[in-house]
Structure 1
Amino acid sequence: MTLADAHAVVTGAGTGIGRAVALALAEEGAKVSLLGRRIEKLEEVAGAAGAMAISCDVTDPAQVSRAMRAAREANGPIGLLVNNAGAAASAPFAKWDTESWRASLAVNLDGVFHCTHAVIEDMIEADGGRIVTIASNAGLRGYAYTAPYCAAKHGAVGLMRALAVEFAGKNITANAVCPGFVDTEIVAEAVRLITHKTGRSEDEARAELAALNPSGRLIAPREVASLVLELARSDRTGEAVELA
């Protein structure tokens, strides 16, 4: 797939990985539509990337439908979708209730479904497209105290594998990127939680999380963005690529 002039939609694009992906796509000449709940953050990225910012909560299918329609009106049919919106909360399994369980699945799994479902007809009609979902290595293995997040990310990986099979031979690819701990707001929040509950310093908490990555360091968002661009350009499909 040629990224120049392709219309790419990036969800959760206001900060972290989404921001890095949006900027990287813009550098490649793509027409980028940015979706997210915090319009101020989106507009900051839009200004830097020459992109379009659209307020959207991916857990609401009606909002997703309106956002994709607005994106099409501005930039044409959607050829690349980057499902990045997500949230991670931590608690012992016994303390999760149905409401908090559903909230985690809503953003981390249902949102992937809503956005992918909203763009797939564009790709079918164009005889081609790319879907890249930012999952997590929590979609490949388990972590304590994050049961809903792990379950949702496993589901997101499974969805990409299912779509890869369904659209095999139709030039529509579906892949998942599964990073370990990335230097984003989500990790910053985890650091704050660790320091609050354990009394460790922020540096100690960051080092503890970094040590969980085989590299021994936190991943930079631009590294994830580079992998997204690699998958968007290629014919590889059904992969869950770990980056740790």
Structure 2
Amino acid sequence: MHLQGKHALITGGGTGIGLGIARELAAHGARVTICGRRAGPLEDAAKTTAGLFPLVMDVSDEVSVRDGFAKAVDARGPIAIHVANAGIAEGRSLRKTDLAFWRRMMGINLDGAFLTIREALETMSGLDWGRVIAVSSMAGLKGLRGAPAYSASKHAMIGLIRSLAADYAGRPLTFNALCPGYVETEIVDRNVVSIRDRAGVTDEEALAMMVGANPHKRLVTVAEVAEAAMFLCGPNSGSMNGQAIAIAGGEL
């Protein structure tokens, strides 16, 4: 229970990876504010797991982010752990990418990380311990075929994290990124439909394409990503800083 009493705020915390990390942190004593645009999933998660507190917030809206962080801090104190997890994953070739699609991808994935990390740092300024974790992707390390906008947003998240690690080196804060491969979440379910429709394959064939992209030939579990986040918040994690940690079954 080494996180007892520490306040964590997780965006995209009502489902998938965000919820998995939230539950792991709460199990170690943290008070966890889970954020998202839909109240329903957040409230359902809070009902089933002690230590989770729902907060509706749109990470692409600066006013919503500022108001949301203010409410969370007023209710549970300064934020010691921030997980910038909210994001969308959609594929589209560059020639078919219009400016609206590009800006939506950057607005949620990149602007959302920028806005929420900036607010988190304001509350961490007086603390003697803090952790910032961005959930990027293997697409942030090597690029994802057929998804240049998504890959660009995830590469930029890693650049942001590395720059902050350099800026705050020597202080009691660390900044790291998690880079999962294909994870067993609702996003994979939606991608099955997208790949099926674009490639003219069956649902089973579409799923097999994603499973086959992970070298260990299975989907990464939410628990595996959550455990990696937990390590970065653990008692011996202070020297892990500015890293982009691949969680993809051996993909290089």
- Bin the TM-score by the shorter chain: over 0.9
1:2-56 Cα deviation digits (max 9, x unpaired)? 3222100010011110111111111111100011001100111111223111101
**Residue matched to 1:14:** 14
Equivalent pairs counted in the alignment come to 244
Assess if the C-alpha contact under 8 Å between 1:138 and 1:154 holds in 2.
Answer: yes
Map 1:73-88 onto structure 2 (within 5 A): 73-88=74-89
Equivalent-residue separation in structure 1 for 2:23 and 2:129 (angstroms): 23
CA distance in 2, matches of 1:117, 1:80: 13
Aligned counterparts, 1:213-224, within 5 A:
213-224=214-225
Q: C-alpha separation between the residues in 2 aligned to 1:60 and 1:14? A: 18
Shift of 1:131: 0.1
Asked whether 1:47 is paired with 2:51, we answer no
- Once residues 207 and 28 of structure 1 are traced to their aligned partners in structure 2, the CA distance between those partners, rounded to angstroms, is 36
* CA distance in 1 between partners of 2:162 and 2:199 (Å): 39
Letter in 1 for 2:161: M
For the residues of structure 1 that align with 2:59 and 2:232, how far apart are their CA atoms?
Answer: 23
C-alpha root-mean-square deviation of aligned residues, in Å? 1.2
Question: Counterparts of 1:1-244 in structure 2 under 5 Å?
Answer: 2-50=2-50, 51-233=52-234, 234-235=237-238, 236-244=240-248
Moved more, 124-133 or 191-200: 191-200
Q: Percent identity?
A: 39
Instruction: Report the Cα distance in structure 1 between the residues aligned to 2:178 and 2:28, rounded to whole angstroms.
Output: 20
Report if the CA contact (8 A) 1:9-1:78 is conserved: yes
Which amino acid letter does the alignment assign opposite residue 132 of structure 1? I
3-state SS in 1 of match to 2:131:
strand
Q: Retained in 1: the 8 A contact 2:13–2:36?
A: yes
- The gaps in structure 1 that reach 5 residues or longer are none
State the distance in 2 between where 1:205 and 1:150 align: 20
Matched residues in 2 for 1:74 and 1:173: separation? 24
User: 2: CA distance between counterparts of 1:199 and 1:102?
Assistant: 28
Shift of 1:92: 1.5
TM-score normalised according to structure 1 size: 0.97
SS in 1 for 2:233: helix
Amino acid at match of 2:201: R
Structure 2 distance, partners of 1:49, 1:59, is 27
* CA offsets 1:172-223 (integer angstroms, 9 cap, x no match): 1000000000011111111011222334322221111011011111111111
Question: Structure 1 counterpart of 2:244, which letter?
Answer: A
Distance 1:120 1:178 in 2: 22
Find the aligned partners of 2:13 and 2:187 in 1 and give their Cα distance: 14
1: distance between equivalents of 2:75 and 2:110?
Answer: 27
Moved more, 219-228 or 194-203: 194-203
**Is the Cα contact below 8 Å between 1:23 and 1:48 reproduced in 2?**
no
Which ranges of 4 or more aligned residues in structure 1 deviate by more than 3 Å?
A: none
Give how far 1:61 is off.
1.0
Tell me, in whole angstroms, the C-alpha distance in 2 between the residues paired with 1:173 and 1:7.
Answer: 16
Please state how far the C-alpha of 1:87 moved relative to its aligned partner: 0.0
Alignment TM-score, normalising by the size of structure 2: 0.94
How big is the shift at 1:99? 1.3
Instruction: Judge conservation of contact 1:132–1:232 (CA < 8 Å) in 2.
Output: no
Contact 1:23–1:45, Cα closer than 8 Å, also in 2? no
Tell me how far apart the structure 2 counterparts of residues 96 and 198 of structure 1 sit (CA, whole Å). 17
Q: Say if 2:21 and 2:226, in contact at 8 Å, map to a contact too.
A: yes
How many Å separate the matches in 2 of 1:142 and 1:163?
A: 22
